[in-house]
Amino acid sequence: MERAVAFGPDDALIGVYNPAAAKTDVCCLLINAGVIHRVGPHRLNVKIARSLAQASIASLRFDLSGRGDSRAPASTLSYSEQAVQDLRTAMDFVERNDGPKRFIVFGICSGAVNAFQLAVADPRVAGILMLDGYWYRTRWTEPVRLWKRFRALSARSIFMALRRRLSRSAPANAEPPRVDIFATNDTLNPPIPEFAAQMNRLTDRGLDAFFLYSGTVPELVSYAGQLRDTFRGEPFIPRVRCELHDDIDHTAVSLHAQRKIVTLVHDWATRIAGARRAAAA
């Protein structure tokens, strides 16, 4: 049964621990996406936690310091350092209460970045699934985006676009400009050599890394092979999984996207847990 928990210094971190239906040594950490509290966008983390529990995988969803219900940190650590410290505190808490574990982490956007940083810092992390985490644009990103956009157009919308272009007028029902929450995020991606070195080290020690991308920001990621094209020849490339799903969106607002993400996380996690059980047997 799910249990509300408070842990860490002064019980400042607030979350919900979901023990597995059967004894397990795998626990999934489900963490904040942006400013959304631990339940995740559209309660996605709750749905994932319950799906994993049925597959004998425990989970802890919780708020990082200063997010959701967790208190702001008293330390002077940077945001990124604090996130890693909070996540390690969470792992310590789970192990103290439920025995030694290997951890897998699911994170969206900034949560994906935190998952990666945790894997770099702590060898207890066996897997990370990053939804819209790091990306590297290639010379094919824009042509593929334009091609996909063209392919999705109906004859009527092509006609209307041409007519607008010819009359040089703005459409009467033009969409309001989108708020581009990714506008500055290119600079957050580590330099290519640094990221390659980190990924090679992580996969050398057996980390299971799944780079999952939504179809929300084709300007940044328009095809699944971007990672392969950017890091061609690096040892980590054949060891990681990278998928782009145009039919899921960044915050899983469609019910279809929610079901698909839950299934992807569930299948990924159960494969890791199954491999561990097989190795132990």
SS (H, E, C) 206-251: CCEEEEEEECCCCCCCCCCCHHHHHCCCCCCHHHCEEEEECCCCCC
The angle formed by the CA atoms of residues 109, 115 and 121, to the nearest 5 degrees, is 145
Phi, psi of 177 (to 5 degrees): -60, 135
Token code pair at residue 265: 């996380």
- Those residues whose C-beta lies under 8 Å from the C-beta of residue 153, and which sit 6 or more positions away, are 161
Q: Binding of other proteins at residue 43 (CB under 8 A)?
A: yes
Q: Binding of other proteins at residue 249 (CB under 8 A)?
A: yes
**Radius of gyration, alpha carbons of the chain:** 20
Q: Binding of other proteins at residue 91 (CB under 8 A)?
A: no
Q: Binding of other proteins at residue 2 (CB under 8 A)?
A: yes
H or E element, residue 149: helix 141-152
Residue choice 20, 29, 31, 46 for contact with other proteins (CB under 8 A): 46
Q: Binding of other proteins at residue 71 (CB under 8 A)?
A: yes
Q: Binding of other proteins at residue 14 (CB under 8 A)?
A: yes
Q: Binding of other proteins at residue 90 (CB under 8 A)?
A: no
Q: Binding of other proteins at residue 38 (CB under 8 A)?
A: yes
- Of 90-98, 99-107, 140-148, 254-262, the segment contacting other proteins by CB under 8 A is 254-262
Q: Binding of other proteins at residue 19 (CB under 8 A)?
A: no
Residue choice 99, 254, 267, 277 for contact with other proteins (CB under 8 A): 254
- Of 9-17, 97-105, 114-122, 139-147, the segment contacting other proteins by CB under 8 A is 9-17
Tokens 């049925």, located at residue: 54
Rounded Cα distance between 95 and 102, Å, is 9
Residues that bind other proteins (CB under 8 A): 1-6, 14-16, 35-39, 41-43, 46, 61, 68-69, 71, 178-179, 249, 251-255, 258
